[in-house]
Structure 1
Amino acid sequence: MRSIYIAVTFFCIGIMASAQTSSSDDSLNIRKIYDMSLLNGKSYEWLDHLSNDIGSRLSGSYGAEQAVKYTKAELEKLGLDKVWLQPVMVPKWTRGEREFAYVQTGPGETRNINITALGGSIATPAGGIKAGVLEVEGIEQLKEYGRENIEGKIVFFNRPMQADLIQTFEAYGGCVDQRYSGAREAANYGAVGVIVRSMNLRLDDFPHTGSMSYGDLPEDKRIPAAAVSTNDAEYLSSILKIQNDLELYYKMNCEQHEDVESYNVIGEITGSEYPGEIMVVGGHLDSWDLGDGSHDDGAGVVQSLEVLRLIKEIGYQPKRTIRVVLFINEENGLRGGNKYAEVARSNSENHVFALESDAGGFTPRGFGITATDAQFKKILSWKNLFKPYLIHYFEKGGGGADINPLKGGDMVLAGLRPDSQRYFDYHHAANDTFDKVNKRELELGAATMTSLMYLVDKYGLDNISKTNTELAD
């Protein structure tokens, strides 16, 4: 009996020693990852080229084509096991000459306002549009006004992002429907155009573009749609309260073209033990055409590249295949994400984990994670390893638009969650430029992503072992 007790005791001691050793090894490797990113990182250099030498990268544009070539070449320099391009047919929409708009309050009394066409909108007639304005706070109010009050007018959607929501993406989700579907809905009531308050939490003069859709609305019923800066939305709303018979003029020159071929850019390190289990890390290569897309989503692109570079630099050999995917056409179609998932299904690939960065290059706070309770608990068991780097946010629910098509079965989706308070100052606007990205914050985000990929690869997410659970203690 005593011999059994001794054996059990030594077995328990062995497990505890193994857990401590694993925890120590993980701490050291994660420290190496952060040191390498902060002292010898490549993400900021890559972003500099992507933003300043290539610039905006709207799907179907010359910039997007150059970005595909550049990132493929950089992946090849990393000495990965495989790098390739995945063909995707994408929409091609061009803005044309800069938009122009003014508010007319009387004969010869006008004030120019800042607008930008929404992505996918039709152009105005060659001479522009001039009409009265009806202000509403959301799509649901259109029914209240009815055709008799809307027909022949420009509908002004002026629901602001809810400023008291700490999670700014919730505030965005609470009003983005008016940008995406506002023109379709207003057209059904006879409106001749729509102007939408920019999705922006601060007051400034930058109009923010973004995708919109006419759905199945016939082409001859479609109306032009633009975003107006928050400062000018405030002005227009205030002047309408004292003069509701004013007129708004605007002119846009955008055009929808035939689809063109583009590519997802993909590279991978083949797993040493479970090559058939694929882990994805990525961001979207395309951006809107107003700025250079440094935060949305140049940051996510270069951070994803850096994940594979850092893994190689610290000398870690992944057990599972780690694949970087730079998705094309997230902004106005999600064709890249859908194509990647379609090909993965047709090839019967086994994706077990996907991590996306598409919330800007700000200070990382943690992750949003879509997983089972058991899988989420296992990820939480690693939380203390992130504590020295001030990473504290581990919440259920998250991922990203481009990896969501992979969802299903035991697949775990995660999204990097940087501090989001300033993100919508720049989102889809002309001021989303390289100078708005802090080098250190960008590098911290890359290291945080790499650390999670390292832990998921090392321990897997199928089962929870006693040893790994003890790492959290």
Structure 2
Amino acid sequence: MKRILSLLIFLIIANVSAQSDAEMLKTIYTQSLTNGKSYSWLDYLSNQIGGRLSGSLSAERAVAYTKEELDSLGLDKVWLQPVMVPKWVRGNKEYAFLESSSGSTSTVNICALGGSIATPIGGLKAAVIEVQGIEEMKALGKEAVSGKIVFFNRAMQPEIIQTFEAYGGCADQRYSGAMEAGKLGAVGVIVRSLNLRLDDFPHTGSMTYGNLPISQRIPSAAISTNDAEKLSTMLTLDKNTKFFFNQTCRQLDDVESHNVIGEITGSEFPNEYIIVGGHLDSWDLGDGSHDDGAGVVQSMDVLRLLKESGYKPKRSIRVVLFMNEENGLRGALKYAEVAKQKGENHIFSLESDSGGFTPRGFDFECDDAFMTKIEGWKNLFKPYLIHHFEKGYSGADVAPLKTANNVSAGLRPDSQRYFDHHHAATDLFEHVNKRELELGAATMASLVYLIDKYGI
């Protein structure tokens, strides 16, 4: 009888707890959808400040703005964490054209890749060799590559449903293509934009020269998918087609910037930290609304939503707006370095860096025991059509905090339209849906609430 009574009490408590959690999630979602701040914050960040390339004036304006908004929320602490970041500037708008053996020309759309050097003054014109990837180029050898512009034309695979997987299958040619081509004596690199659709917008992104001597460094640019198709067709018809491009980008000395951090101090376990964040910097072609203005404002709203719901966190919850994810990850590395120096115990980290589209769930980096725990929360998210709870990659900015004993996660929105905008001039506020953005903020806040209440 005593065992049966104990079991009944346990079931009653569990049921009451489940009802309480369901009510809390409903409060969070209602607050976000009827009284959310993420969309108005993003409006200002995108339309009044714009693209926020690390080291730029716009990036510093974004630091000041987000700190001011966090100050207004009445958090327990808000501060700036200094970090040195690279300062790369694009210079004048890039220009490029194709030239057939008959001398006729056709302009194409390009943009310099982040970190690239400039072309020689007046531009660069050379014959083109088309390859599908770095290994194919290496197989051709120095004799075939030397003195030419290498055209990397491997497209993202449209049949891969997980678009980030398709992106990962092509990103090496953008990041390392110029470094490897320079070793073989190429004079320049043109990379097909990482975009699943055919359009006229080139997509930038970071690239590296590694330890390549300055004398072997060559300019690197992205070409729009429509113009990549055009270039490939022309090369098929006329192997003597030449490519001309001119870009004036340059790398300057590092400058000081900041991570922006706000905290609600825990009432029971103040030395256990839960963080939620996104990266404040963006590329400069658009206004960085999806990458990653959306993640920034959603993360800010997580703390506001928890306060508005009346919830008193047991653990210290921080929002961290990281600087310099796009071309260096300096902000994330600095935050993790300082956390380690202070001996801070970060039990859980959540990142939003996949756009402001409809949330589908989360990817977790965790052990099997915690994954089982997470599976038990699925029914709480079912009314909001959140179903994706899987092991996977969390995010670049929270990666330096990962240990064998903690958990990290990444918000996973629907990604089918993300690469239409990623690193391009189409990454604009007008392409963010208010309701989708607010659903993402509520989904993040709900997970943070459950992690805080039940621990890892």
TM norm structure 1: 0.96
Q: Is the 8 A contact 1:367 1:398 kept in 2?
A: no
- Residue 187 (structure 2) pairs with residue 192 (structure 1): yes
What secondary structure, in the 3-state scheme, does the structure 2 residue paired with 1:296 have?
helix
- Which sections of structure 2, spanning at least 5 residues, go unmatched? none
Alignment match of 1:133 (pick from 118, 128, 131): 128
* Code of the aligned partner of 1:43: S
- Which sections of structure 1, spanning at least 5 residues, go unmatched? 462-473
The answer for the alignment partner of 1:178 in structure 2 is 173
Deviations 1:136-192 (A, max 9, x none): 000001122111111100000000001110000000000100000000000111100
- Residue 302 (structure 2) pairs with residue 302 (structure 1): no
What secondary structure, in the 3-state scheme, does the structure 2 residue paired with 1:124 have?
coil
Distance of 2:22 and 2:146 partners within structure 1: 65
- Residue 435 (structure 2) pairs with residue 440 (structure 1): yes
What secondary structure, in the 3-state scheme, does the structure 2 residue paired with 1:443 have?
helix
The answer for the alignment partner of 2:93 in structure 1 is 98
* Code of the aligned partner of 1:441: E
Deviation at 1:130, TM superposition (A): 0.2
Deviation at 1:10, TM superposition (A): 1.4
- Residue 261 (structure 2) pairs with residue 266 (structure 1): yes
Q: Is the 8 A contact 2:101 2:240 kept in 1?
A: no
- Residue 277 (structure 2) pairs with residue 282 (structure 1): yes
Number of aligned positions between the proteins: 456
Alignment match of 1:109 (pick from 98, 104, 108): 104
Distance of 2:103 and 2:126 partners within structure 1: 16
Deviation at 1:108, TM superposition (A): 4.1
Alignment match of 2:20 (pick from 20, 25, 32): 25
- Residue 5 (structure 2) pairs with residue 10 (structure 1): yes
Deviations 1:308-333 (A, max 9, x none): 00000000000000000000000000
Distance of 2:375 and 2:111 partners within structure 1: 43
The answer for the alignment partner of 2:42 in structure 1 is 47
Distance of 2:22 and 2:54 partners within structure 1: 41
Alignment match of 2:366 (pick from 371, 375, 378): 371
RMSD: 0.6
- Residue 208 (structure 2) pairs with residue 213 (structure 1): yes
The answer for the alignment partner of 1:420 in structure 2 is 415
Deviations 1:414-445 (A, max 9, x none): 00000000000000000100000000000000
- Residue 392 (structure 2) pairs with residue 392 (structure 1): no
Please list, as runs of the form range in 1=range in 2, the aligned pairs for 1:84-95 lying within 5 A after superposition.
84-95=79-90
Deviation at 1:120, TM superposition (A): 0.1
Deviation at 1:99, TM superposition (A): 0.1
The answer for the alignment partner of 1:292 in structure 2 is 287
- Residue 187 (structure 2) pairs with residue 166 (structure 1): no
Distance of 2:150 and 2:108 partners within structure 1: 16
* Code of the aligned partner of 1:459: Y
* Code of the aligned partner of 1:12: L
The answer for the alignment partner of 1:249 in structure 2 is 244
- Residue 71 (structure 2) pairs with residue 76 (structure 1): yes
TM norm structure 2: 0.99
- Residue 444 (structure 2) pairs with residue 449 (structure 1): yes
Percentage of matched positions with identical amino acids = 66
Q: Is the 8 A contact 1:400 1:414 kept in 2?
A: yes
* Code of the aligned partner of 2:208: S
Q: Is the 8 A contact 1:356 1:403 kept in 2?
A: yes
Deviation at 1:409, TM superposition (A): 2.6
What secondary structure, in the 3-state scheme, does the structure 1 residue paired with 2:100 have?
strand
Alignment match of 2:338 (pick from 340, 343, 346): 343
Distance of 2:205 and 2:140 partners within structure 1: 26
What secondary structure, in the 3-state scheme, does the structure 2 residue paired with 1:345 have?
helix
What secondary structure, in the 3-state scheme, does the structure 1 residue paired with 2:79 have?
strand
Deviation at 1:107, TM superposition (A): 4.4
Deviation at 1:398, TM superposition (A): 2.2
Q: Is the 8 A contact 2:67 2:78 kept in 1?
A: yes
